[in-house]
Chain A
Amino acid sequence: MKKLATLILIFTVCWSGVFAQDQEELFAQLELETSQTPLLPKRMIFTQRILWGENGLMRASKKFELSKESREQELKIRRQMLKAHQLIGYATLAGMVAQGVIGGKLYNGRYDLKDTHETIGNLTTATYFTGAALALFAPPPLINKKVKGFSSTKLHKTMATIHMSAMIATNLLAEEEKSAHRAAAYTLFGSYAVAVLSFKF
């Protein structure tokens, strides 16, 4: 009788075990593994693609061969570069404000400020292009979604196209066309301020 009871017990447990699903099995049924997060986004800025694309220049180095581990490392580098981009952006904006004040005085006859204007101008140009390079050559994010309609990121990028052109024009026109130089500088300051201040986390 004991033997029979044991037999029934073993049978029932085994039979139930065939159907019982534990937590892991349930999640396995959801087939999450089939859709892993891709290592690179579909869309990238061309400068990022040159350096960090699937066949980018950085991929020649063993340290940056395309893998989960290297991408995790790259994302940390990216965050540091973007933090620096942000801080340098504020310093550049401060430099532009100073240039506006000094440039205005120079335009009204304070020629003793010419050297100061040139020095701050060179510094602002240097920080501007350093900041731009940090954004343009940072490793790409994991995703780069196309958002419909307005977004602060879109405004930031549109303004970047304008202020980059205005920055080049401001420097090219520095020695010759005073009024054109001033117009380019104001365009630069306006578009740059909008780009910096409109950017949202």
Chain B
Amino acid sequence: MKKLGFLLIALLISIDLMAQNQSYGVVTNQSSIVYSAKHLLHSWKGVNRNVLGIAVVDQQKQQIEQLAIAAKVSEFDSKNSNRDAHALEVLEALSYPTVKFYTTAIDLKQSSSIIEGELTFHGQTKTIALQLDRSFNKEGLRISGNFAVIPSQYQIPLPSFLSVVIEDLLEVSFELVLQPKD
């Protein structure tokens, strides 16, 4: 009888712990990721408006327990089809179709901080630090930030034009809106 009592208590504690977590999904039509790149002759931007993502939020602690963001590399649009097609070639999009970011333990009581996470790009995973701004209320979660990516560190050959390669730097910024999932 005692055993049963303990088991019930443990069960209730577990259920209570799980009840505090709520999943949030990225609202694609309100979210975007933008990269900026430079060549000797000009610079350009590519925008992805089809970002996918999930945040597991501990409501009581006001903390994002896990954040997983993914975007297809073929969904970046720089308003130049030839350039986008060339980008997919160097990124080997058939083998590595997505760019992913994963992080844990983001305190939502702070509105801004530098966090660390894992960026998987071109099949290579690296730990990166980035500035993350966030706001959290009943309606949802809004996060934004920026970071730099050095393509050569991800084994990406730099595309060239007129025998001049692009700058080995991509500046990435993002704006994501997440709402509770059913």
Which A residues are within 8 Å of any B CB, using their own CB?
4, 7-8, 11-12, 15-16, 19, 21, 23, 26-27, 29-32, 35-37, 39, 41, 68, 71-72, 75-76, 78-79, 86, 141-147, 151-153, 200-201
Q: Assess the B54–A29 pair: CB atoms within 8 A.
A: yes
Chain B binding surface, main DSSP class: mixed
Please give the distance in Å from A144's CB to the nearest CB on chain B: 6
How far in angstroms is the closest Cβ of chain A from B177? 16
- Cα A142 to Cα B72 in complex, Å, equals 13
B17 at the interface (CB under 8 A from A): yes
Contact call A142/B85, Cβ cutoff below 8 A: yes
Q: Kindly supply a per-residue 1/0 record for chain B positions 44-86, scoring 1 wherever the CB is within 8 Å of any chain A CB and 0 otherwise.
A: 0000000011101000000000101010101001011111111
Across the interface, B89 reaches (CB within 8 A) one of A41, A75, A147, A151, namely: A75
Q: Is the CB of B82 within 8 A of A19?
A: no
> CB within 8 Å of A: which of B4-21?
6-7, 10-11, 13-14, 17-18, 21
Contact between chains at B66 and A26 (CB < 8 Å)? yes
- Residues of chain A contacted by B92 (CB below 8 angstroms): 72
> Interface on B for A, CB 8 Å cutoff?
2-3, 6-7, 10-11, 13-14, 17-18, 21, 39, 41-42, 52-54, 56, 66, 68, 70, 72, 74, 77, 79-86, 88-89, 92-95, 97-98, 100, 102, 159-162, 166
Task: Report 5 cross-chain contacts, Cβ distance below 8 Å, ordered by A residue.
Answer: A7-B3, A31-B52, A141-B82, A143-B81, A200-B83
In the complex, are the beta carbons of A37 and B68 less than 8 A apart?
no
Residue in A closest to B6 when the chains form the complex, CB atoms: A8
Q: A32-B97, A36-B97 are in contact. List 15 more A-B contacts (CB 8 A).
A: A4-B6, A7-B7, A11-B7, A21-B56, A32-B52, A71-B94, A76-B89, A79-B86, A141-B81, A142-B89, A143-B74, A143-B81, A145-B84, A147-B79, A201-B41
Please state if B13 and A12 are interface contacts (CB–CB under 8 Å).
yes
Name the B residues within 8 Å of A4 (CB-CB). Answer: 2-3, 6
Interchain CA distance A7-B10 in the complex, whole Å = 10
Q: Is the CB of A68 within 8 A of B94?
A: yes
In the bound complex, CA of A11 to CA of B13 (Å)? 11
**Also in contact, A30 and B88, with CB within 8 A (given A12-B10, A147-B81):** no
Closest Cβ neighbor of B165 among chain A residues: A201
